[in-house]
Amino acid sequence: MSESKYREWILDTIDSLRSRKARPDLERICRMVRRRHGSEPERTCAELEKLIQEQTVLKVNYKGSISYRNAAKVQRRSRKKDDVSLATAARRSAMEEASHSDLSNGDSAFGAVDQDEEDLEGDTSMAMDTDSNPDEEGAEESRDGQDRPSPSPACEDATVQCAPVQAVSAPCSPSGSRPSSGPHCSSGSALDCAASQKAGERPNSLPPSSPRALTHNELAYDSAVSPVEGQHPGMQRDKVESKPEDHSGATSPCASTIGKKEAESRVEDSSLSPDQLVPDSIARPDEVRNVSDGRLLKVSLPPENCTFKKINTPFTAAEGGLLNGSAGDEVSVKMEKMNHNLLQWTVADVASYFSAAGFPEQAVAFRTQEIDGKSLLLMQRSDVLTGLSIRLGPALKIYERHVKVLQRTHFLECEDI
DNA sequence: CAATGCGCACAGG
DNA sequence: CCTGTGCGCATTG
Q: Is the CB of A216 under 7 A from strand B?
A: yes
Give yes or no for residue A404 having a pLDDT over 70. yes
Q: Is the CB of A95 under 7 A from strand C?
A: no
Residue A257, pLDDT score: 34
pTM of this structure: 0.45
CB A336 within 8 A of CB A412: no
In 3D, which of A181, A137, A213, A168 has the Cα closest to residue A284? A181
Q: Is the CB of A31 under 7 A from strand B?
A: yes
Number of residues written out for chain A = 417
Give the tens place of pLDDT for each residue, A158-170.
Answer: 333 333 333 333 3
Q: Is the CB of A18 under 7 A from strand C?
A: yes
- Tell me which nucleotides of strand C come within 7 A of a protein CB: 3-8
Average pLDDT score over residue span A335-359: 76
Determine the distance between A185 (CA) and C4 (C1') in angstroms: 30
Q: Is the CB of A23 under 7 A from strand C?
A: yes
Helix, strand and coil in chain A, % to nearest 5: 60, 5, 35
Strand partners, A62: A65
Average pLDDT score over residue span A275-300: 36
Phi, psi values for residue A60, rounded to 5°: -130, 160
Give yes or no for residue A413 having a pLDDT over 60. yes
- Measured from Cα to the C1' atom, the residue closest to C5 is A21
Q: Measured between alpha carbons, how far is A248 from A414 in angstroms, rounded to an integer?
A: 22
- Measured from Cα to the C1' atom, the residue closest to B8 is A21
Q: Is the CB of A193 under 7 A from strand B?
A: no
Residue A231, pLDDT score: 34
Residue A24, pLDDT score: 92
Q: Is the CB of A32 under 7 A from strand B?
A: yes
Q: Measured between alpha carbons, how far is A123 from A147 in angstroms, rounded to an integer?
A: 33
In 3D, which of A114, A144, A368 has the Cα closest to residue A254? A114
Give yes or no for residue A68 having a pLDDT over 50. yes
Average pLDDT across chain A, whole number: 53
Average pLDDT score over residue span A308-312: 36
Q: Measured between alpha carbons, how far is A399 from A147 in angstroms, rounded to an integer?
A: 38
Alpha-carbon torsion, ordered A80, A81, A82, A88, to 10 deg: -170
How far the first Cα of chain A sits from its last, in Å, is 38
Q: Is the CB of A79 under 7 A from strand B?
A: no
Average pLDDT score over residue span A37-60: 85
Q: Which 62-91 residues of chain A approach strand C with CB closer than 7 Å?
A: 62-63, 65, 67, 69, 73-74, 77, 80
Average pLDDT score over residue span A212-229: 34
- Tell me which nucleotides of strand B come within 7 A of a protein CB: 2-8, 11-13
In 3D, which of A132, A297, A294 has the Cα closest to residue A203? A294
* Sign of the alpha-carbon dihedral angle for A167, A148, A39, A134: negative
Give the tens place of pLDDT for each residue, A125-140.
Answer: 333 333 333 333 333 3
